[in-house]
Amino acid sequence: MEKIDLLDKKILHLLDRNSRASYSEIAKKLSTSPQVVKYRVESLYARGILLYCFPMAEYRGLGYFFGLHFIKLQNLTQEKEAEFYAYLNSHRFIPIIMRGQGYADLIIAIDGKGIHHLGEIMHELQNKFGDYFLDWDTVIPIGFSRFNRNYLVGKEEATPNVAFTGAPVKMELDETDSKILSMLNFNARTPTAEIARKTGITFETASKKIKKLEKSGIIQCYTILPDHVKLGFPRHRTLLKFGNLSEKEEKRFFSFCNLHPNIVHHLKVLGNWDAVIDIECESTEKLREIIMGIKYEFSGVVKRIEPTYIYKIDQFRDIPIEHPKLNSGFPS
């Protein structure tokens, strides 16, 4: 775990809420200078605490069909493991890769251009590496909600206007729109001037197109991917099975997750499970406390809870990067 102070945490908290915010905007909220914020952000990148900034994007509105897969592995040699993860990380349509311990050894998301494409990708993966899969559990997300990482600043408050994907948002993107979204998807902090230059449009046109992506709901918000282990708050992706869940209790559970400072994501899913939540906390004792709190609070509806400790996140985005050649690094 890297040593980070309160100012680092406050900066990460503000980037988590809007990772496209300027140094001046962040500095004003923290009563410091833009130069200090810039230095701190660059240091967070250099130490590997901040991996990248990205937009929460409405994948359905862009024509993607999202499958989330929890895989138990077997018989992997060190060489085969390296080959396997190299394949996953090079695959255009696998934008989420998380290595874990517990219920699953690997959690991936496959974004297909429709359900048949999703099936083709899954079939290809099983053909190449199926001998190393002991078990495979699939759910289909039908709603993904993101909450502020309030544990960074010790707050217990609900996130207003929760960013959400899974709604039938639709926007016809032209080639320039697609390139802009791809650049923001690679790094949400890419300056508008750089986006304009690389796409061959004016600064004003680039600004308007970014605002259109935001207003349409294709971009729900801009957030961050930290290295949770270095941050000292490892992620635990947790599956939940409910029984007799009424609409009232479902809303109450969602509100519980929103208010809890250590629960950062809530997914409503179809399949063998009913929900997935991401818990980020500092210890196994804290994780147990949170899980027991859920069991006590919702004893009438929670049938099963299965957490997976995530020790490494290779990638975590809603959509694939469509135009990788446009991207050349992470400007801070």
Q: How many whole angstroms from its chain centre is CA 102? A: 20
Question: What residues make up the domain containing 24?
Answer: 6-53
Asked whether residue 39 is domain-assigned, the answer is yes
- Is residue 10 domain-resident? yes
What total of structural domains would you count in the chain? 1
Q: Per the domain annotation, does 190 fall within a domain?
A: no
Alpha-carbon span 253 to 250, nearest angstrom: 5
At residue 327, the pLDDT reads 84
Q: How many CA atoms lie within 13 A of 126 on its CB side?
A: 12
29 domain-assigned: yes
Regions of the chain short of the pLDDT cut 70: 328-332
Give me the pLDDT at residue 329, please. Answer: 60
DSSP string, 23-64: HHHHHHHHTS-HHHHHHHHHHHHHTTSEEEEEEEE-TGGGT-
Measured between alpha carbons, how far is residue 143 from residues 51, 146, 163, 164, 331 in Å?
Answer: 25, 10, 10, 7, 31
CATH number at residue 42: 1.10.10.10
Q: What is the pLDDT of residue 328?
A: 63
Dump pLDDT digits (tens) for 161-209. Answer: 999 998 777 778 999 999 999 999 999 999 999 999 999 999 999 999 9
